[in-house]
Amino acid sequence: MTPTGISVSPALQEPKKLPAPAKRRVPLSGLLRSVGTRILRSLLLFVAVTITVFGLSALIPGDPAVSLAGEGATPEAIAAIRTQLGLGKPWYEQYFSWTNGVLHGDLGTSFFYHTPVSDLVMSRLPVTLSLALFAIIAAVVFGILAGLLSATRRGRLADKITTVISTVGIATPNFWVGMILLILFSLNWHIFPAVGYTPITKNAGSWFMHLVLPAIALAAAAGAELQRQTRSSVSEILSQDYIRTARAQGLTRRKVLWQRALKNGAPPLATVVGFQTAVLLGGSVVVEKVFSLPGVGTLAIDSVTLKDLPILQAVVLLNACFVIIINFATDLIYTVLNPKVRI
């Protein structure tokens, strides 16, 4: 009993000596851990992608060397292909030798052009990258602006018109959009050049003019998808209580839209942009053909026609690597934009 008459448990009278604090490791911040996990995952995906691309050769019907050499090929040509692909060796040896080459920038030698595939791809890459970049920027700018227009004027004429355009845009083959643009703006009105490409280093104006139509054709579906996503996510945010509060506090409509609605709607948009970029890379193959752009896509189509397996493998691998990098970047942007996500 204490002097006050209240009994106190012995545990309270003599507090237990706390054990000395263990040496605590400084925890990695959520963001860093997330980045680490993502990098590891991307590397594993790269390995899986190389296995898939290498495995494409297993789909060749019959003897791959005979099939790839084509009709009327000489025994020497068949033997050369057999040696290059290492067909006599076990599959895992072939795989490791091919992957080792890929990691050192050696993508093999073209059966048709007899030059290193990496040189061929690198010479075509600026065309495809210019086109893809142009198209992504066009899709993001027009898609988001159209989506904001729809979200802020929901149910009104502007919303109806943009929604109809985007619904049609999603359903239309990009190469057909390209053909129609070609007919109207090149063949009929002679505003843009019909075919070909000028490097930006030679003539920036001509480079721009050659890319406008293919980029619009390629961006149409991606822009339409972004319009839909922006419309739905921004409309949802605009109906939230905190937006009403912000408006009641005197924030202008424009500030609410740009600083609150778009900022909070950005994470799902980043995901859509990432996914659409991957779709767009695939679509660029056919669009390049329509506008006779000497890019990687045209090279891929030619390689299919010529049965040039090393080129085909290189182009497919390159595109998959781009998609892995884009997905990694998208996840990262998503994580930065939305701190709740620390996967």
Partner 1 sequence: MAGLAILCILAVVAIVAPWITPYDPNATDLNTVLLQPGAPGHLLGTDELGRDVASRLLVGGRVSLIAALQGTGIALVIGVPLGLVSGFFGAWVDKVIMFVTDALMSFPALLLAMAIAGILGPNLTNAMTAIGLSTAPRAIRLVRGSVLGIREETYIEAARSIGTPSYQIVFRHILPNVLAPLVVFAAILAGTVMLIEAGLSFIGLGVQPPEASWGAMLGSAFTYISRSPWLAVFPGVCIAISVLALNVLGDGVRDSIGKKVRR
3-state SS assignment for residue 83? helix
Q: Which of 269, 286, 293, 299 binds partner 1 (CB under 8 A)?
A: 286
The per-residue DSSP string of 138-180 comes to HHHHHHHHHHHHHHHTTTSHHHHHHHHHHHHHHHS-HHHHHHH
In contact, 50 and 317? CB cutoff 8 Å: yes
Is 176 a residue that touches partner 1 (CB under 8 A)?
A: yes
Q: From 8-16, 58-66, 142-150, 250-258, give the range in contact with partner 1 by CB under 8 A.
A: 58-66
Is 49 a residue that touches partner 1 (CB under 8 A)?
A: yes
Backbone angles phi, psi at 109, to 5 degrees: -115, 135
3-state SS assignment for residue 282? helix
Is 52 a residue that touches partner 1 (CB under 8 A)?
A: yes
Is 131 a residue that touches partner 1 (CB under 8 A)?
A: no
Is 312 a residue that touches partner 1 (CB under 8 A)?
A: yes
Binding to partner 1 (CB under 8 A): which residues in 18-47? Answer: 44-45
CA atoms of 140 and 111, how far apart (whole Å) = 39
Q: Which of 39, 103, 168, 191 binds partner 1 (CB under 8 A)?
A: 168
3-state SS assignment for residue 109? strand
Q: How many residues bind partner 1, per CB under 8 A?
A: 47
Is 261 a residue that touches partner 1 (CB under 8 A)?
A: no
Neighbours of 277 (CB within 10 A): 22
Q: What separation in angstroms does the CA of 192 have from each of 97, 187, 207, 290, 295? A: 47, 9, 11, 14, 19
Q: Which is nearer to partner 1, 6 or 171 (CB)?
A: 171
CA atoms of 125 and 105, how far apart (whole Å) = 15
Is 304 a residue that touches partner 1 (CB under 8 A)?
A: yes
Q: Which of 290, 299, 331, 335 binds partner 1 (CB under 8 A)?
A: 290
3-state SS assignment for residue 116? strand
DSSP state for residue 58 in the 8-state scheme: G
Min dist. Cβ of residue 155 to partner 1 (A): 16
Q: Which is nearer to partner 1, 45 or 251 (CB)?
A: 45
Q: Which is nearer to partner 1, 176 or 258 (CB)?
A: 176
Q: Which is nearer to partner 1, 219 or 257 (CB)?
A: 219
Q: Which is nearer to partner 1, 251 or 329 (CB)?
A: 329
Helix axis angle, 174-181 to 262-290, nearest 10°? 70
**Exposed, middle or buried: residue 20 (CB in 10 Å: 0-12, 13-18, 19+)?**
exposed
Is 285 a residue that touches partner 1 (CB under 8 A)?
A: yes
Q: From 3-11, 17-25, 53-61, 82-90, give the range in contact with partner 1 by CB under 8 A.
A: 53-61
Q: Which of 70, 86, 173, 294 binds partner 1 (CB under 8 A)?
A: 173
Is 289 a residue that touches partner 1 (CB under 8 A)?
A: yes
Q: What separation in angstroms does the CA of 190 have from each of 35, 182, 186? A: 49, 9, 4
Residue ranges in contact with partner 1 by CB under 8 A: 44-45, 48-49, 52, 56-57, 59-61, 167-168, 170-173, 175-176, 179-180, 182-183, 187, 278-279, 281-283, 285-286, 289-290, 300-301, 303-305, 307, 309, 312, 315-316, 319-320, 323-324, 327
